[in-house]
Amino acid sequence: MGRIFRQSQYRLPTLFLLKYDAAGNLEYDGRYKFTYDAWNRLVKVEHAYRDALQTEGYSVGSILATMAYDGLGRRTVKAISNSADLDCTYHYYYDGQSIIEIRNGSDFWVQEFTWGLQYIDELCQIRVRDIPDESETEISTYVVLQDANFNVLGLIETTLAAFNITPLVERYEYTPYGQRTVYRSAGSNDPWVHSPTLLSRRMDKNAASFGTMPWGINPIGHQGLFHDEEFGTRGGLIYNRARMLHPTLGRFMQRDPLEYFDNMNVYQYVSSRPTRYYDPYGKSFWDTYNKAMAYVLCAVRVKREENNKVTAPANYPGGADKYNHCRVACEVDKQCGGLTSWAAGVANEIIDNSTTGFSWEDLAANKNGRKIASAGGDCTEGCKDPCKKGRKMSAGEKELIQKAIGRAMDRAF
pLDDT given at position 1: 37
Residue 242 pLDDT level (bands cut at 50, 70, 90): very high
Highest mean pLDDT, choosing among 70-79, 182-191, 290-299, 361-370: 70-79
Residue 9 pLDDT level (bands cut at 50, 70, 90): very low
Task: Say if CB 140 and CB 128 are below 8 A apart.
Answer: yes
Task: Say if CB 108 and CB 203 are below 8 A apart.
Answer: no
Residue 8 has pLDDT above 60, yes or no: no
pLDDT given at position 362: 82
Which tens digits make up the pLDDT trace of 95-145?
989 999 999 999 999 999 999 988 889 999 999 988 877 777 778 899 999
Three-state DSSP class for residue 153:
strand
Torsion from C-alpha of 307, 313, 314, 320, nearest 10 degrees: -20
pLDDT given at position 389: 42
Three-state DSSP class for residue 290:
helix
pLDDT given at position 355: 58
| Average pLDDT over the chain, rounded to an integer | 82
Residue closest to 168 by CA, chosen among 182, 184, 181, 146: 184
pLDDT given at position 402: 65
Residue 3 pLDDT level (bands cut at 50, 70, 90): very low
Of the two residues 192 and 108, the one the predictor is more confident about is 108
Nearest-angstrom CA–CA distance, 170 and 180: 12
Kindly state the average pLDDT of the residues 192-208: 72
E strands along 85-138, which residues?
A: 88-95, 98-103, 109-115, 123-129
Nearest-angstrom CA–CA distance, 117 and 119: 6
8 DSSP assignment: P
% pLDDT > 70, the chain: 80
Give first-to-last CA distance, the chain, whole Å.
21
Q: Are strands 109-115 and 32-36 parallel, antiparallel or unpaired?
A: unpaired
pLDDT given at position 223: 93
Report H helices in 94-142.
none
Which tens digits make up the pLDDT trace of 40-84?
999 999 999 887 777 678 899 999 999 999 999 999 999 999 998
